[in-house]
Chains A and B, each alone.
Chain A
Amino acid sequence: MSEDRQKTRDGEVEEFAEEQASLWRITLSPLAWAAHFVICYGLVALSCAKGLPVESVRQGLIVFSVVVLALIGWIGWRAWRQWDVRETGDYLNQQGKAEDRHRFLGHAAFLLSIISFIGVVFVSLPLLLLEGCG
């Protein structure tokens, strides 16, 4: 996958194999968001129901949130480079060629990373603003 920026134009077959990875990659940010959501809600509910130390759980989840945000940031950065709009000046990549598919998937992954980042921030806010089980 490291040859993202390498403009391989020598054969659809090779390119397509790489595109499968890229196709999978666009789901990474939303997956991280979903996992973060489930883990936060699940753990807090569990520790409140079972009387576990919710304060340590809260602090742990704050650290976890920062890690997830960094992960999404990194995925987003990679996607931004794959889109490479500054270099190519092509926003939409409508040509249907292998390179366009490649760049378009970068574009999609980049936008999905933005929304996932915002989602994770929103899910994390209660961790910062609320304490205890209520």
Chain B
Amino acid sequence: MGARSGEYGSLRRVDGIGAPFFVLGLPLFLSACSGRQSALDVAGEDAAAISLLFWVMFGAACLLWVAMNGLFFFLSRIRPGQFPDRYVQPLLIGGGILLPTVLLAALLVWGLGLLPDQRAPGDGLRIKVTGEQWWWRVEYWPEGAEAPVVTANEIRMPVGERVEFLLGADKVIHSFWIPALGGKMDMFPGRETRVSLRAERTGVFRGQCAEFCGASHAWMAFETVVMEPDTFDAWLEAEAGDALMPVEGAATRGAALFLSQGCGACHTIRGTEAVGQVGPDLTHVGGRLSLGAGRMGVSTAGFTRWIGHTEALKPEVQMPSYDFLSTEELDDLAQYLVGLK
């Protein structure tokens, strides 16, 4: 916001009661346009198409607003009195029927024309995402793959390639949305929907569930990392591998606790006895950018908080809070998990 404070200097002379609100509100308003979860801070081809449509509509709406209010002002203040009869009919038919019909038809054709692109076939990589309450099950299917690379709560994709997302849901409807990259697409139980996205620059962008799905809907997010294709390939290869074995004391104790506390009934850590399917795959959880589907950052402190206060952090979450574990035990678990890069 600081960088934008110059922008209201020229607006100081706006009169009337609305002015202070306008002047104070504008930087707030504008600051919402940039950022890693903004449809207006475009990072992908599909988002670019949508934001162009948005700006054209916004510009036209401003024009219309000025024209209507200008006309009203003109007729009520500058030239009040009888409106000449001969203008009534053209104004009603032209402005009331023809203009809106043509404009709406044009917008409809434009908008509908964008839809096929959002489902265009990809360049090879397909990512299957399943919406769960309240996290994301993720499977990477590179071209020709026979088994997927399974992970969760984060999307990584190569820049400049069209990636196809195959979307589904477990129990209730969710919606998959990475505003900086493209439009949203609903996820339904028992039905596969598709959206394809092509990122145009590398970076980290936030995705968010965009369909109310229960108590922790607002906490159902994820990070999207757009990488150079080489880096992506290397990452995917590492992601496909088994979990790293813990080496030092605390992490080794954590690994044992993980199994003895029954975490493995719900979570998979490949290369160990933990093969649960209820919750997110944790094989490389320490390498993620966020913990608990965008709930917080990945750190030892983060893991301790998550495991000890799960239900406080995410209302109605399926994972029980392990608040009965001692601080040392929580710390051991955290040391183990944070090391799973």
What is the interface size of chain B, counting residues whose CB is below 8 A from a CB of the partner?
13
Residue of A nearest to B115 (CB): A130
- Which of A10-18, A36-44, A95-103, A121-129 faces chain B? A121-129
Name A36-65 residues within 8 Å CB distance of B.
Answer: none
Question: Which of B97, B108, B116, B193 interacts with A131 by CB under 8 Å?
Answer: B116
| Docked pose: A125 CA to B115 CA in angstroms | 13
Judge if B17 is at the interface, Cβ distance under 8 Å: no
Residue of B nearest to A132 (CB): B119
Cβ–Cβ < 8 Å partners of B109 in chain A? 125, 129
Judge if B3 is at the interface, Cβ distance under 8 Å: no
State whether B112 touches A129 (Cβ < 8 A).
Answer: yes
Question: Which of A118, A131, A134 interacts with B101 by CB under 8 Å?
Answer: A118
What is the interface size of chain A, counting residues whose CB is below 8 A from a CB of the partner?
11
| Docked pose: A125 CA to B108 CA in angstroms | 8
Name A71-90 residues within 8 Å CB distance of B.
Answer: none
Cβ–Cβ < 8 Å partners of B115 in chain A? 129-130
Judge if B105 is at the interface, Cβ distance under 8 Å: yes
Given contacts A118-B101, A134-B119, contact A125 B193 (CB under 8 A): no
Cβ–Cβ < 8 Å partners of B97 in chain A? 114
State whether B105 touches A121 (Cβ < 8 A).
Answer: yes
Given contacts A129-B113, A134-B193, A134-B194, contact A122 B108 (CB under 8 A): yes
Residue of A nearest to B89 (CB): A91
| Docked pose: A118 CA to B97 CA in angstroms | 10
Min CB gap A131→B, angstroms: 7
| Docked pose: A132 CA to B115 CA in angstroms | 12
Min CB gap B99→A, angstroms: 13
Residue of A nearest to B110 (CB): A129
Cβ–Cβ < 8 Å partners of A125 in chain B? 105, 108-109, 112
Residue of B nearest to A121 (CB): B105
State whether B101 touches A130 (Cβ < 8 A).
Answer: no
Residue of B nearest to A49 (CB): B191
Residue of A nearest to B116 (CB): A130
Residue of B nearest to A126 (CB): B112
Min CB gap B27→A, angstroms: 39
Most buried by B among A121, A129, A130: A129
State whether A122 touches B105 (Cβ < 8 A).
Answer: yes
Cβ–Cβ < 8 Å partners of B101 in chain A? 118
Cβ–Cβ < 8 Å partners of A130 in chain B? 112, 115-116
| Docked pose: A116 CA to B189 CA in angstroms | 36
| Docked pose: A121 CA to B104 CA in angstroms | 11
Flag B168-194 by CB within 8 Å of A: 1 or 0 each. Answer: 000000000000000000000000011
Shortest Cβ-Cβ A-B pairs, 3 listed: A129-B112, A118-B101, A125-B108
Q: Give residues in A with beta carbon < 8 Å to B.
A: 114, 118, 121-122, 125-126, 129-132, 134
Q: Give residues in B with beta carbon < 8 Å to A.
A: 97, 101, 104-105, 108-109, 112-113, 115-116, 119, 193-194
Q: List 24 A-B contacts (CB under 8 A).
A: A114-B97, A118-B101, A121-B105, A122-B104, A122-B105, A122-B108, A125-B105, A125-B108, A125-B109, A125-B112, A126-B112, A129-B109, A129-B112, A129-B113, A129-B115, A129-B116, A130-B112, A130-B115, A130-B116, A131-B116, A132-B119, A134-B119, A134-B193, A134-B194
